Amino acid sequence: MIKPHGSDKLIPLFVGDPDQRQRLLEEAESLPKLLLDSASAANAVMLGAGYFTPLKGYMNLADALSVAKNMKTSSGLFWPVPCLNRTNDIEAIEGVKRIALLDPNIPGNPVLAIQDIKAVEEISEADLKVMTEQTFGTLDSNHPGVATFMAAGKYIISGPIQVLNFSYFEKDFPETFRSAVQIREEIKARNWDTVVAFQTRNPMHRAHEELCKMAKEAVHADGVLIHMLLGKLKKGDIPANVRDAAIRKMVELYFPANTVMITGYGFDMLYAGPREALLHAVFRQNAGCSHFIVGRDHAGVGDYYGPFDAQEIFKTIPEGVLEIKIFNADHTAYSRKLNKVVMMRDVPDHTPEDFVILSGTKVREMLAAGEPLPEEFARPEVAKILMGYYMSETANN
């Protein structure tokens, strides 16, 4: 199986031993406490689950700036996006060396992790702008990732962490949330060698379904990892439980048995386009996948990125820093001429009228109105699940 990123073995920061975990929870009661923001909590979950191997905790300012500017830490490790714990309120942790990190996403704010503090540093406005612009490619506050990043705390708390649970993800998504450790174990149990990963924060329509099948066939993969984001999204995106149900129905009915693993990970969407595509590749390598599909406007939002910027950025990184191979996908759509889903680059003789393409806005309008989507665009069983969600949303608003 493919090696983890930057390490011979996976480095999950979750404390697996129940007795040790209980001792740390008891210790946490007497430690100074810091309430995390959602982004910092998501970073902790990803560190705990092994997706951020080989990181041992949150970055300091020097590493964060180096990652933003050069896509590598001060020590030279390739990393595309800063991994930070940020806050505006350091009163309770000034001068201390060890703190309990509280979960902002669960009522009562239970302890999520324990951190050994190496440094508490204030981010200057100039440094914050550099980190934001280099990571997101823009300073436009209308960009949802920029707005979140700019509004996070002005202090960085760096240092290693011990993760004590996986926040709400295990409870809310027991059949879907999986750590990188668990995915590697499942790949091994299935005797899969070549595995192609598909990232999604949306329901999967016919084009996505066929893209997974095309990629699997092209790289001669043993199976496909459908890996959905389960954390926070921007307003208007479809909730994870609805996406989960729709994807499971699609796989059940339209994929051969035992060719797909449906899993999810606990991270908040950054909408950082090319940089986030690189990060997605890192944690798919850490999950044991040999190939990763990078599609049109991967991890993008609005028109902040070009349609293939997320593919082009892989050409700019030093050879060998990632072992995972990239499957570059074009926009896929149903061809009326050929009566099947195709990649547009493969059919240069087609005109726009030859494809069945619906905008996201049009899809939402049709579903909310109870109108069936064309079967060329969405499987009817999937559309039914989505229609139920949109109609309930419309009724409640």
Interval 134-177: pLDDT, tens = 999 999 999 999 999 999 999 999 999 999 999 999 999 999 99
Q: Do residues 230 and 240 lie in contact, with contact meaning Cβ atoms separated by under 8 Å?
A: yes
The residues with which 155 forms a beta bridge, in sequence order, are: 87, 122
Higher pLDDT, 374 or 313: 313
pLDDT for res 360:
67
pLDDT over 90 at 392, yes or no = no
Query: What's the chain's average pLDDT?
Result: 93
What pLDDT does residue 377 have?
A: 86
Give residue 280's pLDDT.
97
109 is catalytic: no
Please determine, for residue 331, whether its predicted confidence score (pLDDT) is greater than 90: no
| Count of residues in the chain | 397
- Dihedral angle of Cα 249, 372, 202, 348, to the nearest 10 degrees: 110
> Closest Cα to residue 162, out of 7, 5, 22?
22
For 262, phi and psi rounded to 5 degrees?
Answer: -100, 115
Rounded-to-integer distance, Cα 303 and Cα 307, Å: 9
201 is an active site residue: yes
C-alpha 277/C-alpha 272 separation (Å) is 8
Q: Which of 34, 4, 41, 149 is nearest to 96 (CA)?
A: 34
Q: Of these residues, 201, 243, 296, 379, which one is catalytic?
A: 201
Do β-strands 195-200 and 291-294 pair in parallel, antiparallel, or remain unpaired?
parallel
Give the β-pairing of 223-229 and 260-265: parallel
Residue 306: other Cβ atoms inside 10 A: 14
Cα distance between residue 52 and residue 373, in whole Å: 39
| Structure-model confidence comparison of residues 396 and 375, the more confident one | 375
| Domains contained in the chain, CATH given | 18-170 (3.10.400.10), 176-396 (3.40.50.620)
Q: Dump pLDDT digits (tens) for 104-127.
A: 999 999 999 999 999 999 999 999
Residue 277 clears pLDDT 70, i.e. is over it: yes
Q: CA-CA distance, 377 to 383, in Å (whole number)?
A: 9
Model pTM? 0.93
Q: Give the integer Cα–Cα distance in Å for 158 and 85.
A: 7
d(CA 131, CA 140): 13
Report the Cα 88 to chain-centroid distance in Å.
25
pLDDT band at 344 (very low <50, low <70, confident <90, very high): confident
- Reported confidence tier of residue 359, pLDDT bands at 50, 70, 90: low
What pLDDT, on a 0 to 100 scale, did the predictor assign at position 129?
97
- Catalytic position from the list 98, 109, 190, 202: 202
Are 336 and 354 contacting, i.e. CB atoms less than 8 angstroms apart? yes
DSSP-assigned letter for residue 177: B
